[in-house]
Structure formats: C-alpha cells, structure tokens
Amino acid sequence: MGIRTDYLVIGSGVAGLTFALRAAEHGEVTLVTKRKEDDAATTWAQGGVAAVFSPTDSYASHTADTLEVGCGLCHEDAVAVCVEGGPAAINWLTDIGAKFSRDDAGELDLGREGGHTERRVVHAADITGREIERALLAAVAANENIRVLPWHMGVELITLSRLGGPERCAGAYVLDEVSGQVITVLARATILATGGAGKVYLYTTNPDVASGDGVAMAYRAGAEVANMEFYQFHPTCLFHPLAKNFLISEALRGEGAVLRLPDGEPFMARHHAMNDLAPRDVVARAIDHEMKRTGSEHVLLDITHLSSDFIRNRFPGISERCAGFGIDITSEPIPVVPAAHYMCGGVTSDLFGRTTLPGLWVVGESACTGLHGANRLASNSLLEGLVFSGRAASRLAEEIRDLQRSPFPDVPEWEIGSAAASDEAVVVSHSWDELRRTMWNYVGIVRSDSRLRRAARRVALLEEEVREYYWNNIVTRDLLELRNIATVAQLIVGSAAVRRESRGLHHTMDYPETSPRMATDTVAKRGVMPYLR
C-alpha cells in the first residue's frame, strides 16, 4: 500500500524542515531524507543569515546589494519578498530555540560579508547552519504531525499524466536504502527541498548528499528549470591533502582577512574596487586567474593581523578544524582554493514555491525563485530557504482542505521488471569520476565555446550510458545519484551554451562582455532545448 500523506517533503535542510514545521499545523507531513536527518548543506553553513536589524541598515540597502551582485537577472519582486521577510524569519527561529551570537548589550552581533555594504549577517559564531539545523530538528522531533524517514531517497516523481490522468504530481517513488525496496508515497502536495548539486563538480564545499536530486526529478517529470549555468564557486575552500570539502567562511574577509599570493603579496586590489570584500564571482575568478598566472596550487587567506582571542572567539569552528590539520590560523595564513558551492538556478518557482507542474512545490537551493539572479549575495541562501518555505506552507494551508476532500489516485507500485542486481558497480564509480572531472575541466569558473562543445559531447555520451545502466539494474543510492548528476550536468552545459555573454557566475572567454539583450532567464524543459526566455 505504501504511504499516504498530506505533504511529502523531500530533504531535511533549512528549507525542508521549515516547511514541515509550518505545514504540520494544517496536515500530516512525511519527510524523507537520504541519510541522517542532519546530513544537509545547512549543517555546513558557517556565515549566517542576511537580515536587516541594524539601525543604519534598511530594506532598500539590502535590496540594492542583492540586485548589484545579481548582475541584472534578479527578479525584483522575489528580492523584496525575501529581504522584507528576513527579520520575521530570524525572530521565528529564535522563538523555536535557535541561539545567535549577541553583543554585551544582548543585541544581535551582526557580521559583514562580500558584496554587503552594511553589517547585516546574523550568525551563531561560525557554526550558524549547525545551530539552525539543531533547533529545527528539535522542533520537528517534538511535533506529532511530522513523520521523518531517514535513509530514504526520492527515485522518481509520480505524475498522473503518465497514467492517463491530468498533468499533476501525486507523490514520489522512494528508495528505502536499508531494505533496498522502492516504496510508493502518495501526497496531496509534494515539496522538493533537496538542496544543491555540488557533487556534479570534482571539487566542492558541499556534503556528499548534494547530487541535484530535486532538479533532476522535476526536470524528468516535466517541470521547468531555469538559470542552471549560474553555479557559484566559493573562493575559499581549505587546501590540504587530508581535508575534504571544508569551507573557509567569507565572514573572515568580512572581519578583515586578506587574500595573498604564496609570496605574501595581496592581489584583490587589482581585480575589484571592494578589494577582498568583492562579490564571490569576482573573487573566485581573481583567485583562479592568479593561480594560473603564477602556477600556484593555492593562494593564502591571512587574518593573523587580528588578535588571537578575537579570531578564536569569532571563528571557533574554523580555528579548531584547521588546527586539526596543523594550521594555527592566529599565526599563519590559510591555504585556500575555489570550489563549487551553490546552485543559483533550479526548478522554476513563483513567489510561493509553486512549480510549473501542478502538485509540485520547491523551496531552498533546489528552487529558482529569481532572488539570486546571475550570482548569489552571501548569506541570502539560508534567508531564502526560511522565507519561501514559510510562504509555501501558508499558501498550501489555504488549499489543503480542498485537496483532502479528494481520494488518493490509484497508482501502480514500483516494478523492477527485468532489472537485476549489478555485478559491475565499477561502472558507476568510473562514470561518476569521469563526469565530475569533465565538468570541472570544461564548465568551471571560466568557460569557452570549445570547452562547452567538448563537455557537451562527453556528458551526452555518459548520460546515455548511465540511462542504459539504470534501466538494466536494480536501483541503489549510488546509481540514482549518478543518474541525477548526469541530468544536472546536461542542463548546466546546455544552459551555458546558449548564454553568449559573460554575466555573474557565467564567464566565457569568447563573449567577455555583458549583453543587455540577454538580461533574461535561461529556461529548460523536458523535450525542449535550453533557451533564453
């Protein structure tokens, strides 16, 4: 029989948990997550949540900074909704138990990051995401209307049109990773909150679960996706042979850290008027340029000119982690390199999280709300997950009672057909490695037409091989993730190929200028090649 529920939420980061808590006031929520409940990118977030609290700050200023960094592609209505919803979102988190850093007077200790003209980043030292995730999970655990299924992964969305019915999502087939069985979960509303797709690149700050599952499932189900060419590379990921995916927060530069070449020379003044506080796309390209120019494997991030007590108190998590690798950040600079960090595109949504496929909603990094445009302003991501998840839950609360009056549709259970257990898992691991190296080498920080053509040929061939392997073998998490990153890779390459300009995170050597004629979203849909809307 599977599971019947009012809301099916796929993902347990800030967006999925916030939606679940808000929606549980109006119906039963089933939340599935690939691994443990706290295995989400949110847990890794160091910087904070951008919100207007300072008396010298304003919504107009936060909006202006967001639009400036977004390079002409932000949707101004989405920016307004998010910026103006920030303070209420922080207050809600505080009410459910999140504890943020405060000054001696008890006021929020506001930080500053690249692209911001004011101190407006609400944080919990340098472990903000971990604290937010802790508070949300505690509230979810105490809510009897929320059922959490860890070690479960979405396989495919259930669309009634494939069964001869209307164009509508009715839930998802979900892999129980412990039993290996695929179960059917039918829902009045299905909410994708699966986060980003950093694992499509060889080097990333993202956790292993970030394989673009939501975008890939939505695309295959017929929902529109947008702006997939805009993948943000974080400028400063720890460079160390034993370190894996460890981000060095932009907040260090917000507090005065300086980027230097290995010989100690500062270099950001050559690249932007804001020096080390330039937007992330500028800083990542600057580091990439300097590494290629000098032949260096990394650059240095230096905060040693500040007091050791301040550094350890403001950045306890980073200090401790670096110390574990033999780096004392109070007395020596940190070796850093850029790495894939944040997906600014995603499944197209309106201002309430609604996708173009009825019955399917999307929140968080999986969504393209229009907030980020061609480049995300630092600390606007957790903000987006909080604000839009709340809006989606509120809007669905108005519709759920009508939906509850209709019976669940008759949907066939998952069938494995002639698929067999694979005896060549090496095919998955080799394809995974080849795909990620191709994306890193040809569709990274700097692109060109020849690189994109090369990537398109290789990714198309890999996607075809993966598709054949998928249909002939019983599904596993590794196989599903490979299938999803192959889909996402094709979307990124195809979208990048049609944007013949350099804008924000998409920088191409063949079209170095920004074209006013291309100040529009790149759209893709199943059966339709990516195009500029």
Q: Residues 117-132: pLDDT tens digits?
A: 999 999 998 889 999 9
Single-letter amino acid code for the residue at 351 = L
Averaged pLDDT of the chain: 93
Domain CATH number, residue 498: 1.20.58.100
The model carries a pTM of 0.91
Does residue 38 surpass a pLDDT of 90? Answer: no
- CB under 8 Å to 96, separation ≥6 — which residues? 21, 135, 136, 138, 139
Q: Does residue 472 lie within any of the structural domains?
A: yes
Mean pLDDT of 80-103: 96
What's the confidence (pLDDT) of residue 422? 62
Q: Does residue 474 lie within any of the structural domains?
A: yes
Q: Does residue 485 lie within any of the structural domains?
A: yes
Instruction: From 339, 368, 390, give the residue that closes a domain.
Output: 339
% of the chain surpassing 90 pLDDT: 77
Catalytic residue ranges: 280
What's the confidence (pLDDT) of residue 325? 94
- Count Cβ atoms below 10 Å from residue 11 Cβ, excluding itself: 32
Q: Does residue 241 lie within any of the structural domains?
A: no
Q: Residues 486-527: pLDDT tens digits?
A: 999 999 999 999 999 999 999 999 999 999 999 999 999 999
Does residue 1 surpass a pLDDT of 70? Answer: no
* Dihedral (Cα; 131, 381, 354, 172), 10-degree rounding: -60
Task: Using alpha carbons, select from 171, 175, 172 the residue that is nearest to residue 34.
Answer: 175
Nearest-angstrom CA–CA distance, 197 and 488 = 8
Is the same domain home to 528 and 430? Answer: yes
Mean pLDDT of 445-453: 95
Instruction: From 339, 359, 381, give the residue that closes a domain.
Output: 339
Q: Residues 401-423: pLDDT tens digits?
A: 888 888 899 999 998 766 666 65
Q: Does residue 4 lie within any of the structural domains?
A: no
What's the confidence (pLDDT) of residue 258? 97
Mean pLDDT of 188-201: 96
Task: Using alpha carbons, select from 383, 367, 378, 345 the residue that is nearest to residue 14.
Answer: 383
Q: Does residue 264 lie within any of the structural domains?
A: yes
The answer to whether 245 and 378 are in contact (CB under 8 A) is: no
Q: Does residue 286 lie within any of the structural domains?
A: yes
Instruction: From 339, 363, 384, give the residue that closes a domain.
Output: 339
What's the confidence (pLDDT) of residue 163? 80
Task: Name the domain count of the chain.
Answer: 2
Q: Residues 348-374: pLDDT tens digits?
A: 999 999 999 999 999 999 999 999 999
What's the confidence (pLDDT) of residue 423? 59
What's the confidence (pLDDT) of residue 113? 85
Domain CATH number, residue 282: 3.90.700.10
Q: Does residue 420 lie within any of the structural domains?
A: no
Q: Which residues form the domain of 256?
A: 246-339
368: three-class secondary structure by DSSP: strand
